[in-house]
């Protein structure tokens, strides 16, 4: 009998650590999901309220009902209407032109610059990289006055190049710094193997390095495009009625009455502006995740 009792106690003692470990794993998993839900609510709540207000009738702008009520599409019609001087449709095209040109040029120069900083050995390389990183931290408000003076002297105020060039100065450091870290983690053996097989350095870069760097390039391109798409400060000073971007156009919306803020029309326009960014992220989400995690995987 004592032997059976001892065996029962032994089995109980062995089972306790497994039960504790199982409960701990469940609590860790539950805590993770709870944290994810809290973060999602915290981040998406403003966007949700923006969409709710965009579809709400003007007379119920300040209605605090947490779900959509008095739904209408008039706010989207108002956003595109030019009767009150709101040229939102033209501003969308301007932002697309500025964002696309900024992204393409920043990637064109950023890919080669980051490859050189990561692969080539030359004096002052880390000093150059430090200057690039410092340029990305420079406050944009300090550049408004000199840029305005410079572009006024050369008659560039209100032109596309006056919006694209400053945007490149902000997107290019981000591009170079991001891609330099990726190229630095890429093994040299891949390029050397291509050179042994008869490729020139340019061919090895084009046929071997660039396909492997595609996830990082896609990620950097989307970040650069979003940065240019959302830029407001410099665009508000260097554009005119024909070249203003969507951020400037939304800030210039006029209401039906003087000194009246058209909140619902603004929310409708903001919802429309968000759609291209969401589409880009959904289409290239695998590339984005691969680019963001490639350094850790390698």
CATH number at residue 193: 1.10.3720.10
What pLDDT does residue 297 have?
Answer: 43
For 192-241, the pLDDT digits (tens) are 888 888 888 888 888 888 888 888 888 889 889 998 999 999 999 999 98
Low-confidence spans in the chain with pLDDT less than 70 = 1-18, 20, 255-259, 287-298
Count up the domains in the chain and report the number: 2
Residues 21 and 114 placed together within one structural domain of the fold: no
Domain that holds residue 83: 78-297
- Does 65 fall in a domain? no
Instruction: Give the pLDDT confidence score for residue 31 in this predicted structure.
Output: 87
**Is 64 inside any structural domain?**
no
Task: Please check whether residues 168 and 271 belong to one and the same domain.
Answer: yes
Domain presence at residue 72: no
Do 45 and 186 lie in a common domain? no
152 plus 14 within the same structural domain: no
Q: Are residues 203 and 254 in the same domain?
A: yes
One domain, residues 247 and 139: yes
| Residue 183 belongs to some domain of the structure | yes
Question: Do residue 227 and residue 150 come from a single domain?
Answer: yes
102 and 190 together in one domain: yes
Q: Does 151 share its domain with 109?
A: yes
Predicted local distance difference test score (pLDDT) of residue 63:
87
**pLDDT for 247:** 93
**pLDDT at residue 293, rounded to an integer:** 54
Three-state SS string over the chain comes to CHHHHHHHHHHHHHHHHHHHHHHHHHHHHHHHHHHHHHHHHHHHHHHHHHHHHHCECHHHCCCCCCCCCCECCHHHHHHHCCCCCCCHHHHHHHHHHHHHHHHHHHHHHHHHHHHHHHHCCCCCHHHHHHHHHHHHHCCHHHHHHHHHHHHHHCCCCCCHHHHHHHHHHHHHHHHHHHHHHHHHHCCHHHHHHHHHCCCCHHHHHHHHHHHHHHHHHHHHHHHHHHHHHCCCHHHHHHCCCCCCCHHHHHHCCCCCCCCCCCHHHHHHHHHHHHHHHHHHHHHCHHHHHHHHHHHHHC
């Amino acid at each position: 009998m004592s032997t059976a009792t001892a065996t029962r106690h032994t089995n109980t003692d062995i089972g306790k650590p497994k039960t504790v470990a199982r409960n701990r794993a469940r609590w860790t998993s539950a805590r993770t999901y709870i944290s994810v839900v809290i973060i999602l609510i915290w981040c998406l709540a403003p966007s949700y309220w923006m969409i709710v207000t965009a579809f709400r009738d003007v007379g119920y702008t300040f209605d605090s009902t947490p779900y959509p009520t008095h739904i209408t599409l008039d706010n989207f019609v108002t956003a595109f209407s030019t009767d009150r001087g709101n040229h939102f449709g033209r501003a969308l095209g301007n932002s697309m032109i500025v964002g696309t040109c900024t992204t393409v040029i920043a990637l064109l120069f950023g890919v080669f610059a980051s490859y050189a900083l990561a692969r080539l050995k030359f004096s002052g390389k880390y000093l150059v990289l430090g200057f690039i990183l410092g340029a990305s931290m420079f406050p944009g408000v300090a550049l408004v006055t000199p840029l305005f003076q410079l572009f006024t002297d050369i008659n560039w105020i209100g032109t596309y190049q006056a919006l694209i060039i400053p945007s490149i100065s902000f997107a290019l450091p981000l591009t170079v710094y991001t891609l330099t870290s990726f190229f630095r983690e890429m093994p040299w053996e891949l390029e050397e193997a291509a050179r042994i097989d008869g490729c020139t350095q340019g061919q090895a870069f084009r046929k071997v390095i660039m396909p492997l760097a595609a996830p990082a390039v896609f990620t950097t391109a989307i970040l650069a495009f979003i940065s240019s798409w959302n830029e407001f400060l410099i665009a508000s000073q260097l554009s005119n009625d024909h070249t203003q971007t969507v951020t400037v156009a939304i800030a210039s919306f006029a209401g039906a009455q003087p000194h009246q803020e058209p909140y619902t029309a603004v929310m409708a326009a903001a919802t429309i502006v968000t759609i291209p960014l969401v589409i880009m992220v959904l289409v290239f989400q695998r590339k984005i995740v691969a680019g963001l995690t490639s350094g850790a995987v390698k």
